[in-house]
């Protein structure tokens, strides 16, 4: 699948997923597909990174703390862990935590 086809697929899936509403609140579901972290683009009202940054803001600080703890146990530091496991989108989402 080429990049253009992948982007069409993402938009199609996210459009359909984003239109599903919680039957109790009638609000759109809070969709977080695992592959979305690797891509930027539009998602309803906000760009993906901004949307995820907003949705995960309360968890980002805890994530960085826990990752730092794990890194120390593995005899490295938080930056080493980000260098190995991070990408521009993930780092952009948790940067302000």
Q: Where are the domains of the chain?
A: 3-46, 57-94
Per-residue pLDDT tens for 46-93? Answer: 466 777 788 788 888 888 889 889 989 989 988 888 888 888 878 888
Mean pLDDT along residues 21-32? 81
What pTM did the predictor assign?
A: 0.46
How far apart are the C-alpha atoms of 88 and 5, rounded to whole Å? Answer: 22
């Amino acid at each position: 699948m080429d990049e253009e086809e992948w982007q069409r697929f993402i938009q199609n899936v996210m459009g359909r997923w984003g239109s599903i509403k919680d039957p109790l609140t009638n609000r759109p579901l809070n969709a977080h597909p695992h592959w979305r972290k690797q891509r930027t683009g539009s998602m309803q009202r906000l760009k993906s990174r901004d949307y995820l940054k907003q949705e995960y803001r309360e968890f980002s600080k805890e994530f960085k703390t826990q990752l730092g703890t794990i890194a120390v146990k593995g005899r490295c530091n938080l930056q080493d862990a980000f260098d190995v496991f991070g990408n521009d989108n993930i780092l952009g989402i948790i940067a302000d935590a």
